[in-house]
Structure 1
Amino acid sequence: MERIEKLKSFLQESPGDSFLKHALALEYIKAGNDEEAQQLLESLLQNNPAYVGSYYHLGQLLERKKMDQQALQCYKTGMEQAKKAGEQRTYNELKSACEELEM
């Protein structure tokens, strides 16, 4: 919980910081708070769709919640953004997750 509180404090100082939002969302996931994590990741990607690392984590979260269609869309959107950004590794990870879910 200490890390969550520190990250929340940093976010109050820099509310638009995508890295801090991503880090806080991952801490919420570790703590089992998928609702808070989902809200943060969705907000982050709405405001910064080029932050490609968050698509994978949001997709995984959606899969855990049995929201497979939303997860697929998340992966596909992330693949588009990763391709635009030239992020081949992230593209490959998202493509793999997408293909695995489609099986």
Structure 2
Amino acid sequence: MSRIEKLEELLRENSGDAFLNHALALEYVKTGDDAKAGTIFKNLLEKNEDYVGSYYHLGKLLERSGDETGAITVYKKGMEVAQRLGERHAYNELRAACEYLEF
């Protein structure tokens, strides 16, 4: 059984688990299925906007697809959330990614 299959099985029991959804999206990134990964990241953040790590990965995915404007928007939203939650490390990573695209 692949990692994707295992995660999907676990998600059948608890579809709203943010960690499992994040992990599944990352597995799809590894396989090169950015469309599937993007859908999972977006759904995760719609339901749980405080899952800070997903902003960075969704932003990078958007960058790879050529959507720099979308990536900047995601990074900035993630920065707001990270700042509100006091997540300095996440904030700094998101800021660095955002500044790289803006300059």
Q: TM-score, normalised by structure 1?
A: 0.98
**Deviation of residue 95 (structure 1)?**
0.1
Structure 1 segment 1-103 matched on structure 2, within 5 A:
2-103=2-103
**Unpaired runs of 5+ in structure 1?**
none
C-alpha separation in 1, matches of 2:8 and 2:67? 27
Deviation of 1:15 after TM superposition, in Å, equals: 0.3
Question: Which secondary structure does the structure 2 equivalent of 1:15 belong to?
Answer: coil
May I ask how many residue pairs the two structures share in their alignment? Answer: 103
- Percent sequence identity over aligned pairs: 55
Alpha-carbon distance between aligned partners in 2 of 1:71 and 1:46, rounded to the nearest angstrom: 16
The offset of 1:16, in angstroms, is 0.3
Rounded to whole Å, the distance in 1 between the matches of 2:102 and 2:12 is 39
Letter in 2 for 1:4: I
* Deviant stretches of 4+, over 6 Å: none
Output the TM-score relative to the length of structure 2: 0.98
Q: Which runs of 5+ in 2 are unaligned?
A: none
RMSD: 0.8
